[in-house]
């Protein structure tokens, strides 16, 4: 039995991903990795603290490094979790002014707010890099576990840099939404 060629659906191989699709795929991957890392750190923190409580009450001896290690994990969970919250737009924000304005003015205020956030995140990223570099250069090591504080502080520039990248992408999207018409600049 012959099947007519018109009845066969031939799937074309997918072409190269567009910049938007590639960016979204990378963002999704980073979000999944951050979520998994936060879950592992939080579970580890709970286990370490629980083990210390059990050791303190049943064995009558505490685990000396548990408080410091759990604090380090808490710092990392907090900063990495803030990246996830920023990506999902779950940070606290006031939109009373934006909702009260006409659409054009609201878009301008939104873009201005985005630019302020991007500026603050850039400043905090640079400050985090400086703080981490200074801490690593000083050789400052934690007391209970021999971990340089620079590795603990490394989460600061990493998390702010990830938020900065997302903030820039959000700003570009908000500018495109606010000003949808592309105006070509004619060469002089």
Q: Is residue 2 part of a domain?
A: no
Does 5 map to a domain? no
Beta bridge partners of 148: 141
pLDDT digits (tens, 9 = 90+) for 129-167: 999 999 999 999 998 899 999 999 999 999 999 999 999
Does residue 12 lie within any of the structural domains? no
Q: Are 117 and 167 in contact (CB under 8 A)?
A: yes
Reading the block at residue 185, the tokens are 């600049």
Evaluate if residue 13 carries a pLDDT over 80.
no
Half-sphere exposure of 96 (CA within 13 A, CB side): 1
How far apart, in Å, do the first and last CA atoms of the chain sit?
67
> What tokens does 180 get?
């949808």
Identify whether 139 is part of a domain. yes
- Please give the model's pTM, rounded to 2 decimal places: 0.80
What is the span of the domain harbouring residue 126? Answer: 27-178
SS3 content of the chain, % helix, strand, coil (to 5): 70, 0, 25
pLDDT of residue 18: 58
Q: Among 80, 180, 170, which Cα is nearest to 118's?
A: 170
For the chain, what's the residue count? 188
State the burial class of residue 125 (Cβ atoms within 10 Å of its Cβ: 0-12, 13-18, 19+): buried
Q: Assess if residue 142 is contained within a domain.
A: yes
Residue with structure tokens 């920023």?
Answer: 86
Let me know if residue 21 belongs to a domain: no
Q: How many domains does the chain have?
A: 1
Residue that the structure tokens 């002014």 belong to:
97
- 62 found inside a domain: yes
Residue 33: inside a domain? yes
Interval 52-95: pLDDT, tens: 999 999 998 989 899 999 999 999 999 999 999 999 988 888 88
């Amino acid at each position: 039995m012959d099947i007519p060629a018109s009845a066969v659906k031939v799937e074309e191989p997918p072409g190269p991903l567009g910049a938007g699709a590639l960016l979204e795929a990378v963002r999704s991957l980073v979000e999944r990795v951050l979520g998994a890392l936060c879950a592992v750190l939080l579970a580890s923190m709970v286990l370490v603290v629980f083990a210390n409580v059990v050791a303190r009450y049943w064995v009558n001896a505490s685990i000396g490094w548990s408080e410091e290690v759990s604090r380090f994990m808490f710092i990392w969970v907090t900063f990495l979790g803030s990246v996830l919250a920023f990506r999902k737009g779950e940070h606290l924000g006031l939109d009373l002014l934006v909702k009260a304005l006409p659409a054009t003015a609201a878009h301008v205020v939104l873009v201005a707010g985005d630019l302020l956030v991007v500026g603050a995140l850039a400043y905090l990223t640079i400050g985090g890099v400086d703080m981490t570099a200074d801490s690593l250069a000083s050789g400052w090591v934690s007391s209970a576990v021999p971990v340089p504080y620079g590795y603990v502080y490394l989460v600061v520039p990493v998390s702010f840099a990830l938020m900065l990248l997302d903030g820039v992408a959000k700003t570009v999207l908000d500018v495109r939404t606010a000003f949808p018409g592309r105006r070509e600049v004619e060469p002089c």
